[in-house]
Structure formats: structure tokens, C-alpha cells
Structure 1
Amino acid sequence: MTKTLATLILSSLLAASAFAAESDKDTKEDVARHRAIAAAHENAAKCREAGKGEDLCVKELQAACKGLAIGKYCGMKHEH
């Protein structure tokens, strides 16, 4: 019985460790995506500050966000 219990505990620890490693990888990828989206939005704001037209800035935003976020506005749209 003790050997079986030890095996179960070890298996549980290994599974938890594998899950934690995968979660850490997923978290790092998620953080990187958020930073890339934030950088694209910051560049869109700078584009508008520079006096460039909304259409041009939206096109640049869309190009920068391709594959990062959902939708035409890089996962974020606000009221105008």
C-alpha cells in the first residue's frame, strides 16, 4: 500500500509540474501578445498625433496586428 501511495504522489507531482511549465509558457506567450498589441495601439496613437489621417493610421494598425488580435481594430474599438 505504501509503495502504491508513493507512486500516486510522485505521479501527481510530475503532472502538476508539467502543468505549471505549460501554464508558464502560455502565460509568457499571452504577455508577449498583449505587449505587441499595446505597441501597435501606441503606434496608432502616434500616427494620429502626427496629423496623419484616420484611414492611414487604421491601415497601419491592421497591418501591425495581423495575426495578433481579433477584428479590424486589433481587438479594441472605441467611440468616435
Structure 2
Amino acid sequence: MTKTLVLCALIPLLTLGSAHAQHSQQETQEDVQRHRAMARAHEAAAKCLEAGKGEKVCHAELAIACKGLAIGKTCGMRHAH
């Protein structure tokens, strides 16, 4: 009974997600451009770290480059240290 109730509660959420996944051609192109901008920002952060500028400086530059592109200060990516 409990499993049935949980399943019934989740079905609308699952179908909502799939219905929301449809994007117009323009929205898809905007997503592509956003991902490319995030990739450029992450590549610049990698080069910054390679140059020995330090994690604090490079992460600050990444946060500035990613402002408005993705969620959070890490431009949509986060890894463990």
C-alpha cells in the first residue's frame, strides 16, 4: 500500500519533467551557447591553475566568468578536494 502511494505521488513529477524537456530550436541554440561559454570559462580556469596562480585566484576568476551562465559559483560543476 505504501509503495503504491509513493508511486502515485511520483508519477506526476516524472511526467512533468519529460514534458518540460521539449525546447524550441532557439532555446536549444541558447543552451548550446551557454555550454560553450561555460566550457571556455572552465578552460581558462584550468590554464590559470596550470600557470600557478593558485586555486583562490582561479576560482574567483571562474566565478566572474560564469556569472549569469550557470547555477552557483562553480559554473555548474563541482568536484571534491
Aligned to 1:36: 37
- Decide which structure has greater helix share: 1
Cα drift, residue 72 of structure 1: 1.6
1:24-63 matched pairs, under 5 angstroms = 24-63=25-64
The equivalent of 2:76 in structure 1 is 75
CA contact (8 A) 2:67 2:73 kept: no
Q: What is the one-letter code of the residue matched to 1:79?
A: A
Question: Retained in 1: the 8 A contact 2:45–2:59?
Answer: yes
Q: TM-score, normalised by structure 2?
A: 0.70
Seq. identity, %:
68
Larger radius of gyration: 1
Corresponding position of 2:5: none
Instruction: Give the secondary-structure state (helix, strand or coil) at the position aligned to 1:42.
Output: helix
Deviation track 1:20-42 (CA, whole Å, cap 9, x = no partner) reads xx711011000000000000000
The answer for unaligned runs of 5 or more in structure 1 is: 1-21
Q: Following the alignment from structure 1 to structure 2, what is the Cα–Cα distance between the partners of residues 60 and 41? A: 10
Q: Which amino acid aligns with 1:67?
A: G
Take 2:27 and 2:78, find their aligned partners in 1: how far apart are those partners?
26
Q: Count residues in correspondence.
A: 59
- Per the normalisation by structure 1, the TM-score is 0.71
